[in-house]
Structure 1
């Protein structure tokens, strides 16, 4: 089968197509196979490939396969799902650290990671959802803000940020979102009370202060600003960091929570159904074939377009 390997830490050129034996049924006890149709490209993939997390991955060395989000067809039966069922999920790449990700034609998964893709939801759309929605939901869980509190979502135009805005609005929070140029109106439709354009940290702080002069109670850092947005947080507020190299130092009794999403099939099933019903919106920025994975990483690094870049397999 075809896979994409990280052959060394570096730029997108280190991503190479390779051939590996296709998994056989029953080879890994407790796991089942999924033949992938689509896989998401996440910022974590880009940062791992670049070597920014080399210390965090311990003994794992190239060559390895990146990727967490997937959508495809189940090859082996599991309770409640027959072979051929359309499924999506997240591989907990960081927890496993075995270098077996979703940039591949066939993968092993734990049945507990799987959610059925509703009818009329395309594979590419389904592949944009799992990690982003889980990160947003679990980040809000860690923030634990009461209804009526003010939440700043940086990177509001990203897939993770969009889900954070929507879930936060549903939880009764007052949401201020930092938006990609031209997305302000859409983010307000998704639930943001205020949407301010992105810019330098100084510009963003000034714009947020205009709409939240008293400061914010919590920050969901979808844009990986790190400490750049910390001055906007009230004393005793809470900050959710979604990247291990963007964790600000604690100060002024601020609580810093590090969010590393874990698979949650029940929540994913609910989220995918809401996407099917147009109650939640995701965004696919680009769809590229697996062979063009290096270009996918270039676009992800350049911020080519807000939204998830998806590999078609």
Structure 2
């Protein structure tokens, strides 16, 4: 089968299209999926991609070289314990293990990490959802988001942010989005009640107080956002930046209402998102679409930090 793997050494390994063996024997809870589309997340190039530069060939040998986490596709085989999915079902989901290998024509995934695809979405659209939409949903939940509360979403135009704005509105919150000037109209179209252009000054000291500050960029900390937090306000980060990963847990230990989203792929949450999509209150935003052979360019697009929504890779007909 065709798949994407890391090749080369040094600080800039290459993602290359290769021919490799199809996945082997299914475990009891495994589903074999013919992948139609996958999407790129910062986690991929901050973690998975960077592991490919390890100096030791032994370390690379211990990691499967195949890439990708989010997927949407068709079930083509099931393990003996699988009862909720049948061959021919259209599914979407992700698995946070290193190297789930969704950038391949066939991949294995645990039945607990997938749900049936929203009927009104294409495979390309559905593949854009799992990691980013789950992060948004679980981050808002961790920050005690409830109807009537005020939430500030930092990074509102990106992959996670575009979902967070829509989900927060669906939950009945007053949403303020933070983005660059070129994206202010876009964030309003997503449903934000107010938009702040961060290029026009340091909003962190002038925007007022919020019940929840959700930083999906991972660049802020509870200290840098202290003036934005009301007395009972929560600070939630996606935690991808080293400073945020260290500072946020420290503030939580000091009694502050701060936390980091450790996203998990739970079927019940995928089904919650599916219901929102089918009700018309949640729509994935696609920044750009690449072929499987163009995966290197897709990763470069994600790393640019200029994306509106998600970068998707079409795997079928590679």
Same fold at TM > 0.5: yes
Corresponding residue pairs, total: 298
Describe the SS at the equivalent of 1:50. Answer: helix
- Post-superposition CA distance 1:118-151 (Å, at most 9, x none): 3341111000111111111111111114443321
Alignment-derived partner of residue 84 in structure 1: 88
Alignment-derived partner of residue 68 in structure 1: 69
Describe the SS at the equivalent of 1:148. Answer: coil
Say whether residues 1:216 and 2:216 are aligned partners: no
- Post-superposition CA distance 1:27-67 (Å, at most 9, x none): 4332120010100100111211235998xxxx776563332
Taking structure 1 as the reference length, what is the TM-score of the superposition?
0.84
1:131-170 equivalent positions in 2, closer than 5 A = 131-170=131-170
Residue 19 of structure 1: CA displacement?
2.8
Give the Cα–Cα distance (whole angstroms) in 2 for the partners of residues 204 and 53 of structure 1. Answer: 38
**Higher mean displacement: 106-115 or 237-246:** 237-246
Describe the SS at the equivalent of 1:83. Answer: coil
Taking structure 2 as the reference length, what is the TM-score of the superposition?
0.82
Give the Cα–Cα distance (whole angstroms) in 2 for the partners of residues 273 and 310 of structure 1. Answer: 22
Give the Cα–Cα distance (whole angstroms) in 2 for the partners of residues 11 and 278 of structure 1. Answer: 43
Alignment-derived partner of residue 27 in structure 2: 28
Give the Cα–Cα distance (whole angstroms) in 2 for the partners of residues 8 and 205 of structure 1. Answer: 43
Residue 279 of structure 1: CA displacement?
1.8
Give the Cα–Cα distance (whole angstroms) in 2 for the partners of residues 112 and 260 of structure 1. Answer: 17
Describe the SS at the equivalent of 1:299. Answer: helix
- The verdict on how the C-alpha distance between 1:85 and 1:302 changes in structure 2, with shifts beyond 3 A counting, is same
Give the Cα–Cα distance (whole angstroms) in 1 for the partners of residues 74 and 21 of structure 2. Answer: 19
Residue 239 of structure 1: CA displacement?
1.6
Give 5+ residue unaligned stretches, structure 1.
Answer: none
Give the Cα–Cα distance (whole angstroms) in 2 for the partners of residues 66 and 204 of structure 1. Answer: 38
Say whether residues 1:5 and 2:5 are aligned partners: yes
**Of 307, 310, 313, the match for 1:305:** 307
Q: Is the 8 A contact 2:170 2:281 kept in 1?
A: no
Q: Is the 8 A contact 1:154 1:225 kept in 2?
A: no
Residue 14 of structure 1: CA displacement?
2.6
Residue 298 of structure 1: CA displacement?
1.0
Give the Cα–Cα distance (whole angstroms) in 1 for the partners of residues 116 and 70 of structure 2. Answer: 14
Say whether residues 1:285 and 2:287 are aligned partners: yes
**Higher mean displacement: 291-300 or 43-52:** 43-52
Q: Is the 8 A contact 1:157 1:307 kept in 2?
A: yes
Give the Cα–Cα distance (whole angstroms) in 1 for the partners of residues 9 and 107 of structure 2. Answer: 23
Q: Is the 8 A contact 1:91 1:102 kept in 2?
A: no
Give 5+ residue unaligned stretches, structure 2.
Answer: none
- Post-superposition CA distance 1:199-248 (Å, at most 9, x none): 38x53435xx2xx43x2232111122223545433455322121242333
